[in-house]
Amino acid sequence: MNSSLEYFLELFFPRLCLICEEKLLRQERFICLKCRLHLPRTDFRLPGETSLEQLFYGRIPVEKACAYFEFRKGSNYRKILHQLKYKGQKEIGEFFGEHFAAELIKTGSMIHADYLCPIPLHPKKERKRGFNQSYHIALGISRQLHVPVMKDNLRRIANTSTQTRKSRYERWENMENMFEVIEPELFDGKHIVLVDDVVTTGATLEACAAAILNCSNAKISILTLAMA
């Protein structure tokens, strides 16, 4: 019955690849195999320092920093984040979080951590959107790495204006002192992995890391789905 219903729905509402918009095979989800193979991955699979680690050099101490793919202007792969953030498809975050973590395991790129900490949205913004996309990316990563997600110990204090079209300094200024840790002892002596959807200048991640490091003896790593 379920198979018949699925077949019927496919006739009128075919599942299409987010990237090329070709019809997906039964075993494919969100993105076809061809587009997955051509995903513009970053250098996280290569030995040595990653581009994301270099971004934070001299700003905050980072144990490891990896982004899954490059967020290029005009690229069809931007649709992944657009559908995730603005079309309410939070399952996309979990799906790509799982695949990202699986590649981290395969390449030995991730070290042991105690908690995954998604970058928080302000409560008003989260209520308006209905979910926090970074939390769902963290859920996907957690399923592969078996590291628990700690969602509520890092809090955004103010609902800041959008970072879009801001310069690097303006983004940093916009985020300065915008986060606080509720119970610092939970992070003390722990290795915390901050999880976000996309990093541009790194101002938000830097502000989150600073809030944690200023009140606890923690180590920080960073995982993002995309890097602009």
Residue ranges of the domains in the chain?
1-38, 39-227
pLDDT at 177: 81
Q: Does position 171 have pLDDT exceeding 90, yes or no?
A: no
> Can you name the residues that pair with 219 across neighbouring β-strands?
191
- Cβ of 20: how many Cβ atoms within 10 Å? 13
- Cβ of 138: how many Cβ atoms within 10 Å? 31
Report how far residue 112's alpha carbon sits from residue 82's, in angstroms, rounded to the nearest whole number.
31
Q: Is 4 exposed, middle or buried (0-12, 13-18, 19+ CB in 10 A)?
A: exposed
Q: Does position 224 have pLDDT exceeding 50, yes or no?
A: yes
Mean pLDDT, the chain, whole residue set: 90
Q: What is the DSSP secondary structure assignment for residue 191, as one 8-state letter?
A: E
> Can you name the residues that pair with 223 across neighbouring β-strands?
66, 195
pLDDT at 111: 74
Least confident of 18-22, 27-31, 74-78, 174-178: 174-178
Q: Does position 155 have pLDDT exceeding 90, yes or no?
A: yes
Q: Is 9 exposed, middle or buried (0-12, 13-18, 19+ CB in 10 A)?
A: exposed
Percent of the residues in the chain that have a pLDDT greater than 70, as a whole number: 86
Percent of the residues in the chain that have a pLDDT greater than 90, as a whole number: 78
pLDDT at 143: 97
**1: confidence class by pLDDT, cuts 50, 70, 90:** very low
Q: Does position 199 have pLDDT exceeding 80, yes or no?
A: yes
Q: Report the pLDDT averaged over residues 200-213.
A: 95
Q: Does position 107 have pLDDT exceeding 50, yes or no?
A: yes
pLDDT digits (tens, 9 = 90+) for 15-72: 999 999 999 998 999 999 999 999 999 999 998 899 999 999 999 999 999 999 999 8
**140: confidence class by pLDDT, cuts 50, 70, 90:** very high
Task: Give the architecture-level CATH label for domain 39-227.
Answer: 3-Layer(aba) Sandwich (3.40)
Q: Does position 175 have pLDDT exceeding 70, yes or no?
A: no
- The answer to whether the CB of 63 falls within 8 A of the CB of 219 is yes
